[in-house]
Structure formats: C-alpha cells, structure tokens
A and B are shown apart, each in its own frame.
Chain A
Amino acid sequence: MTNTATTNNQAHSVRDADFISPPGKIPVIAKVLSFMILVVLVFTGIANLLPQVEGQAPKDVKVDLGALTMDSYIAMGEALFKGKGTCTLCHNNLGRAPDILVLNMEDTAAERLSSDDYKGESKDSESYFLESMIAPSKYVVPGYGKEGDPSPMPTIDKAPIGLTKIEMGAIIAFLQAKDGGEPTVALPTDAPVIEEKSINAEPPKPAANAEEVLTKNGCTACHAVLESPATLGPDLRNIGARSSREEIRESIINPAAVIAEGYPPIMPATFADSMMVKELEMLVDFLAASKGDASQAEDSSPAEGSPQTQPSNETEKKGE
C-alpha cells in the first residue's frame, strides 16, 4: 500500500514536470564531445608517458671474416644471444626457462650430459649447445616444458629467428667463454657472417669526450665523478689510483665480474653492447688518469647512510 501511494504521488509530480527546461548555455553536443575528447586525451597521455621502446627489425650486415678474432666472435655471440636470437625473452630470471646468463653453462652442460634423463646424442658442451638450438625437444630440462609436449623453445635455425650456423657457433663460443671457459668452437673462415644491426638506426656518433661518455651513460647517477657527489657506486675520482686500465675496462663491460664490496650489484651490464669502442677507450683513459688526491682516496667507501656502510676491501687496502 505504501508503495502504491508513493508511486501515485511521484506520478503526479512528474506529470507537472512533463517538459524539461532546455539544457544550459553550453549545447549538449559540445559537452559530450568535450568529455569524450578529454577521455581520449587521457589515454593518449598515458601511452606517451610510458617508456618508449621501438622493436627494430634485425638487418643482415656482412662481417670481415679475416679480421674476426675469438674475442670478437664471443662478443658477437653475446650480442646475438641478447638480440637477434631473442634468447633472453625466456632465458632470464622470470622462471620460464633456465637463466643461462646466471648459470655456469659449461658445468651445467656436463651435469646434464651425465644425467640418466639425457637421451640426446651430444658428447660435449659444444655439441650439446648446438643440439639445444636445432633440436630443443631432444632434452627438456626437468621442471620446464610440459610432460609429453615438445619443448616450447623454438628451433633457432628456422624462421622467425633463423640464425645461421656461424651465428649459432658464436653463441656457443659465448656460452663456453662467459664463465671463464675456453671455447672449443672453431672460428669461421669460409662463409659470410651475419650480424644483427638495426635497420632503421642512424649511423651512431661517438661521444666527443670522456665527460660526455660519463653523462650519456648515466654514470654520474651512482658514482662520484665530474660534479656528481653520488655514493651508490664506488668513487671514480680516484679510481686510477686504485685500479689498472684492464680492471677499469673489465668493470665497465662486465660489471658483475668483480663487485666492489659494500656496494649493491646494480651496475647495468649493457655497456658492452651500447658503448662504442672509441668511447670505451676514452673513458678508460680518463678514469685511469683520475688519481684524485689522498683525501679522496681515503674517502672512497660508501657514505654513511647509504644502503651499504661497510668499507670495501679495496678501499681498506688502498688506505693502508
């Protein structure tokens, strides 16, 4: 009953207001359009605020085989592993496939070859790495893939990756050498080598001087160098007094090789790929010449209040 009464009252009041007063001064169409465009612009803004990364297509570039050394072959393997081979899409720390960059692959290969589960035909690490690339289902590491299914890993010498024999050889050399092993794979001599390079990349221009290299690569964000007082990484103002040119070079291209005690292992491992040889040499020259003064040499431990406060052995040694 109550409901009915309420309904009737409402019906009356509504009937009185049968006609609606016209909308305000701004036409409805203008309001609606403005709202919709605003929403679109919000979406566009978010898309533009995110990190902007382009996926470049690999380009085939011929490499002079006569000038190829084992070191450059290994470096080429690393570049292929992280680039055209797209290996790091799965072989990373997210658990989809074994984290090859962290594992000692020589030891791992030996372990797998001696396992009872291994049914492949390889006898050594070189043939095992090749087999893993061209016939990935021969042996699937326990804990990965699904029982009864072939390995989810693509066949590397087929499209869409399509690495050549020589490129796969380079990756094998890299896997064997990355933890200090000796590559057994032979250097190619009689066929063109293909190397990945972006098709759309502008010809790279090296930095003009070491200061520009430091700025361009963001070194000043963590290291005390130039005008930067940063303390997250070791002080570089006196690095020349503490390290040799070789040690400095190694710490740039392979920062994980030696981690200065007391500092977090956060230095990017990408400079070997991104830095040009000329830039690397300029930087090594600059840092090797940065001997600082005695007070700086004594004060190169992590700052008080920084994530790590333990002085590094290196600093202690230099201070003695």
Chain B
Amino acid sequence: MSPHKKLMTDNSGAVSGTFSDFTTRSHSAKPATASAVLLHRSMQVLFVVIIMLSALMLIPDLAWSSDAVSEVAAEIADEVGQNKPTLKPAPTMGPGDYRQIGSMSSRSFVWVIAQLHLFLAAFVLAVPLFVTVIEWIGVKTGDQRYDDMAHEFMKVSMTAYSLTALFGGTLAFSLFLLYPTFMGYMMEVFGNQVMVYALLFFLESGVLYLYYYSWYALRYGNKKYVHLTLGVLLNGVGTTLLFVANAWATFMMAPSGVDDAGVVTGGIWDIIRGPLWNPLNLHRFVANIAFGGAIVGAYAGYKMLSARTMAQRAHYDWMGYTSNFIAVLAFLPLPFAGYWLMAEIYAYSQQMGITAMGGILAWLFIVQAVLIGTILLAANYYLWNGMSRCDGSQRYTWLIKYIAGTLVVSFLIWVTPHTLILSAKEIATLGGSHHPLLGPLGIMPAKNIAVNLMLMGTFLSFQLYRRSDKVITVPWAGFGNALMVAIYVVAIANIIFLGVYYGYFTNTVYKVGSSVAQVMSTLIVIVSGVVIDSMMFKGAKTLPVKWGQISNRGVYALFALPIAFTWLMALMGYVRSSVRTHWHVYTVMKDNSVDNFIPNIGHAGNMMTIATISFLAIVLFIFWVASLGDTKQPKPER
C-alpha cells in the first residue's frame, strides 16, 4: 500500500488512520511536502493571476477596447439580446405603484432575501473554484488527501446549491410582487438576456451534478482529467452567471445604453458594459473566493473541535489551515479591487463617490474598518497560533509582538473617524469639531498608511509561517534575506513618506495619486516576497509539522473570519445600494416608495445581523446535513 493511502479517506469520506501516521508522513514523506509546496505554488499562481487580471483590467483600453474581444462579445450579446432599441422611457412611479406584504416593509423583506441569496450564491460559486485547484494539486502530487478534501468541500457546497436556488426564486417572486413596475422596466431593458441567465443556471446545475456525482467514477488515469475538465467548465459557467447578474446591479448604479429618460438607445452589450461592471466583476469574484474559503474554514474548525481521534483532529486542522490560506490569499488583493471599484464610481459620478466615502455613508467605513481589522487580526492570530505546529517557528516568534503592535496601532488609526457629528455640548468639550491630535488621523492619508501596513504585516505573518518548517539551504540565503528586509524597509518608508508628505502638505489631486503608489509598494512587497521565497525554498530542509497541535483558542479565529466576512459583505451591499440614494436606476428611474431614503447605520446594522444570523443557521443546517450523509445506522442484530 502506498504510504499515502494509509490515511486516505474512504469513499464515504470518513477519515481513517492515526494521528501519528499523519504526523510522521507529513514530516518526512517527500510527496506530502511536495504537495504542500505545490498547494502554495498553485495558490501563488492564482494570486498572481488575480493581480495580473486586476492590472490588466485597470488599463481599460487594453482590457476591454480590444476590438476582437468587444466585437465577439457584442455579437454574442446581440444574438441573445435585443438589437432594436425601444423608445419607452423609464416609468415614473408614485407611492401607489408599490405593494406591501401586510405591514412589513417591502425593502426590508427584499433586503434580507436578497442578502441570503447572495451569501449562498457567493459560497456555491466560490467553492468549485478552489476545489478544482485542490483537485488538480491532488492529481499532480498523487496525494489523495487533496482529492478527498476537495470532495468534502464540494459535499458541503452541494447542499447550499439547492438553497441558493430556492432563495433566488423567492427573491425573483418578491421583486415581481413588490416592485412590479421597476421589474417591468428592467425586463424591458435587459430583454432576452435574463433568459440567458436562466439557461446558464440550467447548465450550471447540470455540470455541477455531473462534477460531484462523477467524482469517484472518474477518479484515476485519464478519466481524472475528464473530471477536471468538468470542474473548469463548471467554474466557467458559474463565473459567467456571476457576471451576468452583476450587470443588473451595475446598470442600476450607473446605467449605460439608455438616454437621460431611460429610453434604450444601445444594444444589450452597451447596457451590460457599464462603467462599473468590470470593477464589480473583479471585486465579487475575488471576494467570493475569500468568503468561500472562510466558510469551509469554519466547517473544518468545527469538525476539528468535535474530533474524537487525533487523526481526525489532524485532518481537520490541515483542512482549516488550507481554507484559511485560501481565504487570506484571496482577501489580500481585495482592497485593491475595492479601490478600483471606488475610483470608477468617482470617475462616473463624483457626487456618488462622495456620498459613499465622505457623505452620509461615511460612518459606515468606520464599521468596515472594524470588520476588516477583525479579519486581519483573526487571520494573523490563527497564523501565529499555527506556528506552534512546528518547532522551527521559534526562530521567528520574537517578531510577532512587533507585527501585533503594528496591526493594533494601524487598526486604531483606521477606525479613527474624521468628521464627527457632534452635539453643541460635545463640540464645547472637544474645543471644536475636530480633535486637535486625533483629527489628522481621521483623514484618508493616515488610513492609507494604516491599511497598507496592516496588509504588509499580514503578509509578513504568512511569510514567517511558511518559513517555520523550512531550513533554507541555498548559498545565497543571506543575500535573499537581506534583500527581503530591504524591500520591506523601503516599502514601509515609502508608504509613510507618501502618506504624510502628499497627504498633509499638498492638495487633494496629489493626495489621491499618492495612494496608488502606496498600494504599489504593498503589492511589490507581496509579489517579491512570493518570488524570493519560492526561489529560496528550493532544496530547503523541511522540519516536522504536527497537525492538530494548534490550540483550540487559535481555532476560534476560524469562526471569527466567516462572521466578519459575512457581515462585511452585507455592509458593502448596503453601501452599494445606498449610493443610488432615491433612485431605482440612478438618474433614470426615481424611487418614490416610502422606503426611498438611506436608512441609518444602526437600522442597517440590525438588518445585516438578521441576515447574518439567518445565514449562520442555514450554514449550520448545511454542515449538519453534510455530516448526516456520512452517518450509517448499524444493522439491527435481529
């Protein structure tokens, strides 16, 4: 029997073997080490692809004005859409054109249903993305643990899939029932494109079932590649579904292909390809991966805490680590994708941008800072705890207190508000509307410094974790380390200098421009860190890693992450919708319902909590059902 098969899960997914088998094999078996390296490399490739995709999309002329791409896309779109513009303007609605279910607020009802649908959809679209990558790693390394883990992830996702469809259907019915005129206009604009969405959904379902249920039928040899191809196809269809649905949301925010009155003047491709479509596509694509990783991380964490054998504990510790790795890696470029989205919002309408960032919604970003701070602190805390799996980590533990200090200070700067809404008494106590010392920390330059340092700190934790189980043997190790330190020092100095000098001593134009250079500094650290480490790890001696040794307290970080991610998604949904202010379709179709105001952050927070706790209940149901599939009642003796 191959050493790998000792600890293989069987077809039902149950883990067999012992912790010591697991530990020993993880320590010494070369293929296992190679597979871990391959996992890291694959994720690095995925990360670099995301970065490159971001960079490519940041150059609009290169990314989307390519004649060939545009023409083909336009042809396909026009085939399925309407080429002939209609001449109907967007309808004007009065309060009587809206319906209600009893005394329930229509907006609140749709809010929760839409949010639950989006949570589930994000999860089921994300999981196959990294599952396919993990499955491929299993094929390349021959280590079936990856294959089993990928299958287990899919098992969790399958239950969520049907629930996604159910909530999607409920959402569609709710919108047509409660907002019939608005939905009529949207159907007028998008026409046959919605049927493409329906068709894609059928395709997605078919490929998903085929992918999941053929897992063991297409497990070895060339058949495995057929299975992998199904995975790629599944992700292609899923991503297209996401992009199609995004077009509806971005049309409502920044309509294109229509005139000032809402009359359709262009083809379906003009309508889809609004100024915010690509930024939102990228942002949601990356965010979904981070979100999906966090959810399955919680699954692994729960299974680990409930484990009854050390082997199970080791297995789920490894699964939790992998999930966290996926979540954090996808999370790191997310602020840059968000930055691009926000820049495009400003370019489309400065008024909309300021409403989001500096107007009535500005307070929301304090909550966002708390959430992202929670994510980064939890992710770092998990990594620091995880370093206890390997004795080699003792070389780096002295650095943790400095990273922790940087994270905490940066976090506090990030949550420092700028413009305070104060009572006269508070103004009197403060001696003005801005605090003399803390006031300067409330503006974006200070926050840009803080965010970049937090991201860099998180990457450093990651780097240290990866180095914990290795003894670098390349002859130029000293030079490599010195180079890495120099890159960090220069980047940190650059970020602080740019933030302070251009943020406080020049005008707004330079302030905004300098933040791009700050982001580039962080990206350079991350990319060069990945590249230098990959080169330095060649031929490195591997130290033992004891899976399952992480403290239970550390595992709780795996529960903080999905909660913060879920709440953050709800929060960003609130701001994305709210920037439309009192418009169903910005500048084209007014919202004249009783709910056409931007709710305050407290009310919005309560709605997000309702959605998050409902989602939590659904996820627990999903986990339970997934576990139920493995439970077999013993045959009665008589």
A-to-B contact residues, CB < 8 Å: 3, 6-7, 10-12, 14-15, 17-20, 22-23, 28-29, 31-33, 35-37, 39-41, 43-44, 46-48, 50-58, 86, 89-90, 94-96, 143-144, 146, 152-154, 158-161, 199-200, 217-219, 221-222, 230, 232, 264, 266, 268, 307
Contacts and interface: CB of A to CB of B under 8 A. Distances in A.
A47 B423 contact: no
Contact of B358 (A6, A23, A89, A158): A89
B162 interface: no
Nearest to A218: B424
20 contacts: A3-B543, A7-B24, A11-B20, A18-B311, A20-B309, A28-B302, A29-B620, A31-B305, A32-B305, A39-B559, A40-B567, A53-B601, A55-B359, A57-B591, A57-B597, A89-B354, A146-B509, A222-B424, A264-B432, A266-B428
Nearest to A161: B351
Interface stretch (B35-43, B50-58, B191-199, B609-617): B609-617
A32 B307 CA distance: 14
A89 B431 contact: no
A36 B432 contact: no
Interface stretch (B74-82, B528-536, B575-583): B575-583
Interface string B526-556: 0000000000000000011010000000001
A10 B591 CA distance: 67
A154 B350 contact: yes
B507 interface: yes
A32 B311 contact: no
B310 interface: yes
Nearest to B363: A50
B597 A48 contact: no
Interface stretch (B142-150, B366-374, B455-463, B478-486): B366-374
A116 to B, nearest CB: 22
A55 B636 CA distance: 65
Given A18-B311, A47-B605, A57 B351 contact: no
A197 B440 CA distance: 35
B366 A154 contact: no
A3 B28 CA distance: 11
Contacts of A268: 424, 427
B351 A86 contact: yes
Contact of A90 (B260, B350, B371, B509): B350
Given A11-B24, A20-B309, A32-B559, A3 B350 contact: no
Contact of B559 (A14, A35, A152, A154): A35
Contacts of B305: 23, 28, 31-32
Contact of B308 (A20, A39, A90, A154): A20
Contacts of B346: 152
Nearest to B609: A44
Given A15-B19, A89-B355, A154-B350, 8 more contacts: A14-B20, A18-B309, A20-B309, A36-B616, A90-B351, A143-B507, A153-B350, A264-B432
A159 B419 CA distance: 28
B358 A18 contact: no
Contacts of B301: 32
Contact of B360 (A53, A222, A264): A53
B567 A43 contact: yes
Interface in B346-366: 346, 349-351, 354-355, 358-361, 363, 366
Nearest to B355: A89
Nearest to A15: B20
Contact of B302 (A15, A32, A94): A32
Interface pairs A-B: 10 shortest CB-CB: A47-B605, A55-B598, A57-B582, A218-B424, A221-B425, A159-B587, A52-B600, A221-B424, A51-B421, A48-B602
Interface in B374-390: 374
Contact of A53 (B310, B421, B544): B421
Contacts, number: 208
A222 B428 contact: yes
Nearest to A10: B546
A51 to B, nearest CB: 4
B367 A40 contact: no
A14 B588 CA distance: 67
B363 A53 contact: yes
Helix, strand, loop or mixed for chain A's interface?
loop
Nearest to B591: A57
A11 B544 CA distance: 11
A152 B350 contact: yes
Nearest to A49: B602
A52 B601 contact: yes
A7 B544 contact: yes
B450 interface: no
A36 B432 CA distance: 39
Contacts of B308: 19-20, 22
A37 B610 CA distance: 11
B428 A221 contact: yes
A172 B446 CA distance: 37
Contact of B423 (A90, A160, A218): A218
Contact of A158 (B260, B578, B604, B608): B260
Contacts of B302: 28-29, 32
A29 B391 CA distance: 31
Contacts of B240: none
Given A43-B367, A154-B349, A219-B424, A50 B509 contact: no
A95 B502 CA distance: 13
A55 to B, nearest CB: 3
A60 B600 CA distance: 23
Given A15-B19, A18-B311, A20-B313, A48 B606 contact: yes
Nearest to B303: A28
Contacts of B249: none
B519 interface: no
A50 B354 contact: no
Contacts of B433: 266
A37 B619 CA distance: 14
B9 interface: no
B507 A95 contact: yes
A39 B373 CA distance: 13
B382 to A, nearest CB: 14
Contacts of A40: 563, 567, 609, 612-613, 616
B224 interface: no
A33 B305 CA distance: 13
Contacts of A57: 581-582, 591, 596-597
A7 B22 CA distance: 12
B19 A35 contact: no
Given A47-B605, A96-B508, A154-B349, A160 B600 contact: no
B412 to A, nearest CB: 14
B23 interface: yes
Nearest to A149: B347
A19 B582 contact: no
B11 interface: no
Contacts of A46: 366-367, 370, 605
B560 A7 contact: no
A12 B20 CA distance: 8
Contact of A266 (B391, B432, B588, B613): B432
Contacts of A158: 260, 587
B299 to A, nearest CB: 11
Contacts of A44: 605-606, 608-609
A153 B346 CA distance: 11
A37 to B, nearest CB: 7
Nearest to A50: B363
